[in-house]
Amino acid sequence: MMDSPSYLFKGLDDDHLEIIYAIMKSSPMEEGHQIFTEGQEAKELFVLSKGAVELTTTVENDFELPISILRTAGEVLGVSSIVPPYCYSLSARCVEKGELGRIDRLELQNLMESDHALGSAILTNLSAYFLDRLKETRQELKIHFKMLLKSTRL
């Protein structure tokens, strides 16, 4: 795990990485397993070690819109567990069996509150990640908007 740090732990020194890995538990995941569901309380943060996970969001209560598929070791999912109100904003399902690192939200919170330098480093990475996703999602909106502009010949 130490050789595949995620974007969330970028810039952390080895001592901090060791503290993080010390509270990470590993568990296997099978294809089709629902890791978490949109709207649920976010009790855990996950780090992909092996396999693939699909992230989706529900439209009209019965249609799942795919958001992305994570395949790279070190990818993080369930970051809503770091941010109030601690509620998963997407659903995650295993689409290729593998292994997941799991970090309990409260244990991570305790670490980040007792070591604010560690907390700041993780939160800076998280903010940069959210801002990237926000830009990406706005970009998709722009594409839809362009299509609308063209179809209405404005």
Q: Which two tokens stand for residue 61?
A: 């209560």
Q: According to CB under 8 A, which one of 2, 14, 60, 72 is a site residue for a copy of itself?
A: 60
Q: According to CB under 8 A, which one of 25, 34, 114, 142 is a site residue for a copy of itself?
A: 142
**Tokens 């295993």 belong to residue:** 94
Contact 21, 106 (CB under 8 A): no
Contact 9, 22 (CB under 8 A): no
Q: Which two tokens stand for residue 91?
A: 């659903």
* C-beta closer to a copy of itself: residue 25 or 142: 142
Residue 130 CB, shortest distance to a copy of itself, in Å, is 4
Among residues 46, 112, 121, 128, which one has the least CA distance to residue 79? 46
Binding mask 21-50 for a copy of itself (x = CB under 8 A): ------------------------------
Amino acid 12 reads: L
Q: Which two tokens stand for residue 152?
A: 């209405």
Is residue 106 involved in binding a copy of itself (CB under 8 A)? no
Is residue 83 involved in binding a copy of itself (CB under 8 A)? yes
Is residue 63 involved in binding a copy of itself (CB under 8 A)? yes
Residue 123 CB, shortest distance to a copy of itself, in Å, is 4
